[in-house]
Structure 1
Amino acid sequence: MRRLVLSLSLLIGACAPMAPESVSRAAGAATVAPEVSPPLASRFGAPDPVPPQASNAQIARDVIDLAFSLESGRALPIFTRFEGPVTLRVAGKAPASLGPDLDRLLRRLREEAGIDISEVQKGEANITLVPVPREKIRKQLPQAACFVIPGVSSWNDYRRAQNAGEASWTEVRERETAAVFLPADAAPQEIRDCLHEEIAQALGPLNDLYRLGESVFNDDNVHTVLSGYDMLVLRAFYDPALRSGMGREEVAAALPGILARLNPAGESVPDRRLAPTPRAWIEAIQTALGTSEPLPQRRAAAEEALRLARAEGWTDHRLGFSHFALGRLLVSEEAAQAETQFRAALRIFSALPDARLHEAYAAAQLAALALRTGHPEEALALTAPHEAAARRHENAALLASLMTLRAEALDALGRPTEAAAVRLDSLGWARYGFGPDWNGAAQMRRLAALDPAQGS
């Protein structure tokens, strides 16, 4: 039982959010490298995004910070976007899962964000998707799974621009072309996650902000598909009242009217006035959840992030995430202390209006610990309620992990028929989330390398 539960804990760790060090989407350590998507991989139904929970006043501040800064903190001089209809093309051989996920995303961008975007099969396009081997990406950006570059349409274009020092968003005055480089040999969910974040950044926000609790534009990687908040931000980016070349003050003056028109419900939401995130906390959390430092340094960084979060007086998801990050680094060797951290994170997330997905991650960690200590009833109570959040946010890896934990709890409670049904249902989600060659024994062997004690 201990060996099985340890494996389940590693499974949860594998799909837990990680903080990247690069300016693009962080590489997901848990994904397998399939060549094609099999028919057994499950798919989500009609999108059901959660409406924005923030006030319009907060969203206006967010849009300014997303539009006028890069992730590095470097300021951008003017507002930029594509002007007119946007075309998109896939270059080269695409993984089997890419087409359906891309169609779904483009439909959402048209319907929810109001962006005139369509796919073309040949010729020039504004945005070019370039599937390349994962190793090729990591040679350029070791901590990245995918990235977007302005002014280029191919890998050769990118390398030439890079060598010439021209691949910079700071030089863009109006967006005309961009290339998104995707890992062709990743699991379907990782490819889809890259589609969402990188196409959205090609279209709009170039920055990530840790204060955003309900957005893919957050380096904690909790959200993996564009949320209702994200679609509102993109709709504001492409509102007729804005145009490329506007300055920060011009955009700030226009946003209150834009958001009042697009999101009238946000006018009556109390303004939480979330403070900016200090660079010291960002660096501490990135070290804690990175892979480059030994475990003792990562644990010290997590403790420092929690200290800084408390010193800032935060009560939002950043405080909860600080507890969560520390818990992940304690779970393999100090289970009781890890549980304390996960319970603190769960309390904070549960009290927030925009943290259902965060809450599900914390509950999954606690469920794995409950099984490990022989409390299957608690594990069952922790997993079942959060599967709905994983489904709504279209996170197959998290959903499969929650279902696996629930199946083990049912087995331990002497309900093998129910357990077998849940386990069978989880298989399709696991094959989408972790890769189509997923199977229990092989996947557990792969995930053993993700034990925090091994520093990976």
Structure 2
Amino acid sequence: MRRGGTAIGRSSRALVALCALTLGACALMEPPVDPVLKPVARPAERRPAPAPIIVAQPTSQESAALRSYLNEVQRAQLSQGLLRRDGGGTDAPFTSAMLARNFEQIAFFNEYDGSFSGRGGASPMRRWESPVRMQIIFGAGVPPSQRARDSANIATYAARLGRVTGHPVAVANNPNFVVIVASEDDRAAALSEAVARVPGISASSLEPLARMRRDTYCVVAAYAAGSGANVYTAAVAVIRAENPELLRLSCIHEELAQGMGLANDSPEARPSIFNDDDEFALLTRHDELLLKMLYDDRLRPGLSADEARPTVRAIASELLDTGPV
């Protein structure tokens, strides 16, 4: 979950499109041979119905103010050298011991409780066993250009998650992982659509996602159903459409990776997107290694941190000894 920033100003915008079309036609007639006593009636003109007048609904003041605020957040973070896209370099080295420690903090603890109102606690390791089928739901107000960019970014990133984890992940029909990109004005409708599309989730389970705090840019909730209490069967990520482009992309990277099972953040994790300091915007090599560890066959859902620790340390050592992913 990404958070931060301070409130900035308000703005609003409205787009009004008016279309009207009137066509006239007149028949050409040969002059009569004999005089006529009354004019020859012209064929009735065939006029198409006027095109409908389309008036786009204006963005609410709340959504417009949120967009302005988030744009200012991105500008401020970039000016401070945050939201890095380099994946981490020589200024952010890490050892196998650091990698194992960070994995334990991120994979065996929850960032928030079930209502997203408080910090979570220790948790067994959780991940997917079935293929992850992602599908995007856009809010009605998201423009086509933004939809195209976000669709391409999500599809590319889903394929990357599949390569890194070795677990099937792709954008597909019959989804079990819905990614919502919606504004404050249309998030409720998008959440209702997610309930209709994904078996195993209900309107009540998504209620916390409908009440996002103003400083929450995006969030994900993953669900386990049936006998496998630690095996994910459904997930819903919500990304504010008001986010500017880089913040929106950073949300895609963090929330979709967290929805794979890396549910927590750690202030010690670096270089990493699983850190509330927002130093890194996009998935790093360190984070790819965490995902690879999560889906290693030597670990299984339900393990505690204590049970998994020797194996986690062995895997971390192997990964750094064999070079980059």
After TM superposition, is the score higher than 0.5?
Answer: yes
Q: TM-score, normalised by structure 2?
A: 0.58
Letter in 1 for 2:214: P
Matched residue SS, 1:107: helix
- Residues 77, 189 of structure 1: CA spacing in aligned structure 2 closer, same or farther, 3 A cutoff? closer
Instruction: Give the conservation status (yes or no) of the 8 Å contact 1:134–1:145.
Output: no
Indicate yes or no: 2:121 matched with 1:75: yes
Instruction: Tell me the residue number matched to 1:60.
Output: 100
In 2, Cα distance between equivalents of 1:126 and 1:206: 18
- Larger radius of gyration, structure 1 or 2? 2
1:255 to 312, 322, 325: 312
Classify the secondary structure of the residue corresponding to 1:91. Answer: strand
- Spell out, residue by residue over 1:319-363, the C-alpha distance to the aligned partner (whole angstroms, 9 max, x if none): xxxxxxxxxxxxxxxxxxxxxxxxxxxxxxxxxxxxxxxxxxxxx
Taking the TM superposition and a 5 Å limit, the aligned residue runs for 1:122-133 are 122-123=173-174, 125-133=175-183
What is the match of residue 239 of structure 2? 182
Native 8 Å contact 1:68 1:77 kept in 2: yes
> Partners of 2:102 and 2:280 in 1: how far apart?
17
Counterpart in 2 of 1:108? 160
Per the alignment, do residues 145 and 48 of structure 1 end up closer, same or farther by CA in structure 2, a change over 3 Å counting? closer
Distance, in Å, in 2 between the alignment partners of 1:141 and 1:68 is 25
2:220 and 2:235 in contact (8 A); partners too: yes
- Letter of the 1:176 counterpart: T
Of 238, 251, 260, which aligns to 2:295?
Answer: 238
Amino acid at match of 1:26: R
Identity of aligned residues (%): 23
Counterparts in 2 of 1:196-211, with a 5 A limit? 196-211=253-268
TM-score by length of 1: 0.42
8 Å contact kept, 1:146–1:182: yes
Deviations 1:297-329 (A, max 9, x none): xxxxxxxxxxxxxxxxxxxxxxxxxxxxxxxxx
Aligned 8 A contact 1:71 1:206 in 2: yes
- Partner of 1:141: helix, strand, or coil? coil
Question: How far apart, in 1, do the equivalents of 2:218 and 2:229 lie?
Answer: 21
Q: Is the contact made by 1:60 and 1:255 (CA closer than 8 Å) also made in structure 2?
A: yes
Equivalenced residue count is 212
Task: Answer whether contact 1:115 1:235 (CA < 8 A) is retained.
Answer: no
Asked if the contact 1:53/1:229 (under 8 Å) is kept, the reply is no
Task: Give the alignment's Cα RMSD to 1 decimal.
Answer: 3.0
Can you give the 5+ residue segments of structure 1 that lack an aligned partner in the other structure?
A: 1-23, 35-46, 153-165, 267-456
Shift of 1:150: 2.2
CA distance in structure 2 between the partners assigned to 1:150 and 1:107 by the alignment: 19
Distance (Å, rounded) in 2 between the aligned partners of 1:196 and 1:224: 8
After TM superposition, give the deviation of residue 127 of structure 1 in Å: 1.2
Q: After superposition, what is the alpha-carbon deviation per residue over 1:93-127, rounded to whole angstroms, capped at 9, x for unaligned?
A: 5632201211231232233343321111x32x221
Report if aligned partners of 2:87, 2:282 keep a CA contact under 8 Å in 1.
no
Q: How does 1:28-39 map to 2 (within 5 A)?
A: 32=68
Amino acid at match of 1:67: A
CA distance in 1, matches of 2:232, 2:121: 17
CA distance in 2, matches of 1:134, 1:188: 17
Q: 1:390-409, aligned counterparts within 5 Å?
A: none
- Displacement of 1:80 in angstroms is 0.7
Q: Which has the higher helix share?
A: 1
Match of 2:160, as an amino acid? R
Q: Which residue of 1 aligns with 2:3?
A: 26
Give structure 2 stretches of 5+ with no counterpart.
9-66, 72-84, 113-118, 188-208
2:3–2:217 Cα contact (<8 Å) kept:
yes
1:89 aligned to 2:135? yes
Partner of 1:363 in structure 2? none
Contact 2:136–2:178 (CA under 8 A) maintained in structure 1: yes
How many angstroms apart in 2 are the aligned matches of 1:188 and 1:259? 34
- 1:199 deviates by 0.5
Q: Quote the Cα distance in structure 2 between the aligned partners of 1:141 and 1:254.
A: 38
Letter in 1 for 2:135: R
Partner SS, residue 259 of structure 2: helix
- Corresponding residue of 1:346: none
Measure, in 2, the Cα distance between the counterparts of 1:111 and 1:252.
25
Superimposed CA distance per residue, residues 119-167 of structure 1 (whole angstroms, 9 cap, x where no aligned partner)? 11x32x2211112214657843232011111239xxxxxxxxxxxxx9x
SS at match of 1:88: strand
Partner of 1:331: none
**CA 1:92/1:172 → structure 2, altered by over 3 Å: closer, same or farther?**
farther
